[in-house]
Amino acid sequence: MVEGENLGTALRRWRDRLSPLDVGLPARARRRAAGLRREELADLAGLSVDYVVRLEQGRAVNPSAQVVATLARALQLSPAERDHAHRLAGLLPPADGVVSHLVPAGVQRMLARLVDLPVGVFAADWTLLTWTPSWAALIGDPGDLPLEQRNLVRAVFGGEDGGLASWPVRHADVGMPAALVSDLREALARYPRDEGLVALTEEVSRTSPEFRRLCREGTVGRHVSARKTIEHPVVGDVTCDCDVLTAPGSDVRLVLYSAAAGSPDAEKLEFLRVTGGRPAAAPAAAPPATP
């Protein structure tokens, strides 16, 4: 540990080494510092600016493990740096043998260059970790949901579609639930000591007969691609190809929605990207005529 270093000084150092382009923000002229501003870090981490300021000044003590993990993702820390941040906060680092919710820096840089596409990044337990603005415009913004509610397994088998989508999504791929069960089985084999993963599996086993049936059948498969139709409240039905990419050397998966160039669905995706999924503002009423 660097002499005199605390969590606040480490956060400032990590913030200063990132550029806005690294996290998908536009590079604006006349910045006094090359790194991220506190306001930008707060927005990326879903924290208040005041809390980030107090953390950096050492006035906020005992941050939770969830706060430190969120900051580690926003700052694109390596696993060793993430563990160091936990120790500086007086916390035990995440135990080995558990599902990582850290998005590798290379994946974050790639995501910053895919901002025009709806892309979500999932952990090995199918928890949604981060997403592009276009994903929020198409699916709905899950930013206000706690991490445990942003889980695809719960959404599919627990009847909690609102956990990931703000409006209905129709799945053309009937094999997707079986592939999710297979994925979860593989994750349990890799991370048998992950209490959250074990609890998730026990939960959906209790609540979903379909999950129990698929577990008994031992179906093997992977959730790789599918076609889905999103019933969007602004543009109507949008049918997309949904592809799942696995980052080499990592358990995180990138789920990417796309449509054929020039198709009506592609035009709808572009409209949602430009507008953020918000309905067009109604024209202002004309002032009453003066008699």
For the stretch 226-237, pLDDT in tens is: 889 999 999 999
pLDDT at position 211: 93
User: In the structure, what pLDDT confidence band is assigned to residue 163 with cuts at 50, 70 and 90?
Assistant: low
**Residue predicted with more confidence, 143 or 203:** 203
Q: pLDDT tens, 69-120? A: 889 988 988 888 988 999 999 998 877 778 888 888 888 888 888 889 999 9
On average, the pLDDT of the chain sits at 85
The reported pTM is 0.74
User: In the structure, what pLDDT confidence band is assigned to residue 287 with cuts at 50, 70 and 90?
Assistant: low
Q: Which distant-in-sequence residues (6+ apart) come within 8 Å of 255 by Cβ? A: 119, 120, 121, 122, 242, 243, 244
User: In the structure, what pLDDT confidence band is assigned to residue 1 with cuts at 50, 70 and 90?
Assistant: very low
Q: Helix, strand, or coil here: 229? A: strand
- Cα separation, 73 vs 13, in Å, equals 15
